Amino acid sequence: MKNIKLGKTNLSVPAISIGCMRLNSLDEKLAVNYINGALEKGLNYFDHADIYGNGECEILFGKALKILKTKRENIFIQSKCGIVPGVMYDFSYKHIMESVDGILQRLDTDYIDMLLLHRPDALVEPDEVAKAFDELRVKGKVKYFGVSNMKPMQIELLRKYLKCDIQANQLQLSITNSQMIRHGLEVNMFTEGSLDRDGSILDYCRLNDITIQAWSPFQYGFFEGVFLDNDKFYQLNSVINMIAEKYGVSNTSIAAAWILRHPANIQLIAGTMNLNRLDDIIKGSEIQLTREEWYKIYLSAGNILP
Ligand SMILES: NC(=O)c1ccc[n+]([C@@H]2O[C@H](COP(=O)([O-])OP(=O)(O)OC[C@H]3O[C@@H](n4cnc5c(N)ncnc54)[C@H](OP(=O)(O)O)[C@@H]3O)[C@@H](O)[C@H]2O)c1
């Protein structure tokens, strides 16, 4: 399975992270089985957020680790804070500190490996974020820090105040949600795809050694559904299926391979709760699509090459 270097750290981590947003769709026994299965496959990087299942996902995960007697140092746990669902975004010192205490309590652990700020807060006071990150690091509650859904200038604003590096930026990316790639190919044009909606975040992250973590890698729209085997994406599926046949793998593998083929060393956050599908995603990480295949898939999703 492919590994990637995480941000500016010296850590080599799996290119596939287990997304835990849907963990509470499983009961305790199934959750234990799923986490154990993932670990047996070498997938030891887990992505959480304080809001997933209103905290239930972290609680379930913490219980599973105890049942499995997993050594804490053998896994990488990442969580996020900063969203108060339906109310506001909050990057204040108080909110960050309280959120991390809640995360640690629910996960039943002394520290998390990485904390991400979940979505940009319009009222952010970067010196407060810096104070919180500093204290969390010194107290040993958080080892590394990152962001999610942020543009370059928002990260730059934080970096002016932070003493630590931003190691990751978690962003929505799938074949059908590839605007961060698309606008780089339609530069200076009047096409819809030429619109730069993210401040060239892909190039910025590459320039600054920030790992892009792709969330919802198999979904289209904003949680509208899976594009694979979906008639709305007939052309895309025909091409993916043809390439899947060539490699003797499933369409899931090819959709994963398309993200992982990008030289930005993207980490894919897989939201499946199905171990067989996880095997397919791992197979995808072992396939190096040709340049021609990568572009063929890109075009079949309705994109253009000017
Ligand atoms: N930072 C953010 O703002 C943000 C936002 C959303 C999510 N996330 C993170 O990203 C992770 C992944 O998000 P996601 O769950 O929306 O992503 P996803 O991996 O694209 O979607 C997984 C869902 O699609 C289903 N699915 C159906 N057919 C599939 C196929 N052929 N291949 C793969 N999955 C298939 C899965 O069902 P089965 O379980 O039956 O396979 C599962 O319900 C989350 O767990 C969370 O950690 C972050």
Distance of CA 217 from the midpoint of ligand 1 (Å): 7
Tell me the chain's radius of gyration from C-alpha atoms.
19
CA–CA gap between residue 113 and residue 132 (Å, rounded): 16
Active site includes 52? Answer: yes
Other Cβ atoms less than 10 A from the Cβ of 189: the count is 13
CA–CA gap between residue 228 and residue 304 (Å, rounded): 20
Enumerate domains of the chain plus CATH numbers.
3-300 (3.20.20.100)
CA–CA gap between residue 153 and residue 191 (Å, rounded): 24
Looking at every residue in the chain, the average pLDDT score rounds to 98
Give, in order, the Cα–Cα distances in Å from 286 to each of 5, 131, 132, 247, 295. 16, 41, 39, 11, 18
Six token digits for residue 57: 């996902």
Distance of CA 141 from the midpoint of ligand 1 (Å): 28
CA–CA gap between residue 189 and residue 147 (Å, rounded): 30
- 131-150 pLDDT, tens digit per residue, is 999 999 999 999 999 999 99
Q: Whose CA is nearest to atom 5 of ligand 1?
A: 215
This prediction's pTM: 0.98
Q: Please, what sign has the CA dihedral across residues 49, 126, 132, 167? A: positive
Distance of CA 253 from the midpoint of ligand 1 (Å): 14
Considering only CA atoms, which of 152, 177, 218 is closest in space to residue 16?
218
Per-residue pLDDT of the chain (306 residues; tens, 9 = 90+): 899 999 999 999 999 999 999 999 999 999 999 999 999 999 999 999 999 999 999 999 999 999 999 999 999 999 999 999 999 999 999 999 999 999 999 999 999 999 999 999 999 999 999 999 999 999 999 999 999 999 999 999 999 999 999 999 999 999 999 999 999 999 999 999 999 999 999 999 999 999 999 999 999 999 999 999 999 999 999 999 999 999 999 999 999 999 999 999 999 999 999 999 999 999 999 999 999 999 999 999 999 999
CB of 246 shorter than 6 A to ligand 1: no
CA–CA gap between residue 195 and residue 263 (Å, rounded): 22
